[in-house]
């Protein structure tokens, strides 16, 4: 059962690729469209009307996504602990 939620503010992405380097199983670069990052489609992220993407993840996938979020130079990747509502980043 998912315990964490990734919230990605796609509009602010500057295409640095650091997220895709840190967690290539979750993040990819959309070179065909606008060179911003996307959560990989097969993970089935929720795409919001404001352009944000959200994804529920398990604890086993937390560390690599925290690495991706910490690597982002513009801090547009956030992760929330759904048990405690604590914003981890
Ligand atoms: S690290 Fe941040 S700025 Fe760079 S591609 Fe990923 S989300 Fe975009």
pLDDT digits 0-9 by tens, 15-37? 999 999 999 999 999 999 999 99
Residue 28 Cβ contacting ligand 1 at under 6 Å: no
Atom of ligand 1 nearest to the CA of 20: 6
pTM: 0.96
As its CATH architecture, domain 4-87 has 2-Layer Sandwich (3.30)
Centroid of ligand 1 to alpha carbon of 38 (angstroms): 9
Q: What is the pLDDT of residue 40?
A: 98
Domain ranges of the chain: 4-87
Residue 18 Cβ contacting ligand 1 at under 6 Å: yes
Count Cβ atoms within 10 A of the Cβ of residue 79 and give its class: 0-12 exposed, 13-18 middle, 19 or more buried: buried
pLDDT digits (tens, 9 = 90+) for 51-68: 999 999 999 999 999 999
């Amino acid at each position: 059962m998912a315990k964490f939620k990734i919230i990605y503010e796609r509009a602010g992405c500057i295409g640095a690729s650091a997220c895709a380097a840190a967690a290539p199983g979750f993040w990819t670069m959309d070179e065909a469209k606008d060179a911003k990052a996307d959560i990989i489609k097969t993970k089935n992220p929720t795409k919001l009307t404001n352009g944000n993407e959200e994804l529920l993840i398990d604890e086993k996938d937390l560390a690599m996504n925290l690495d991706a979020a910490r690597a982002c130079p513009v801090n547009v990747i956030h992760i929330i602990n759904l048990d405690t509502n604590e914003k981890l980043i």
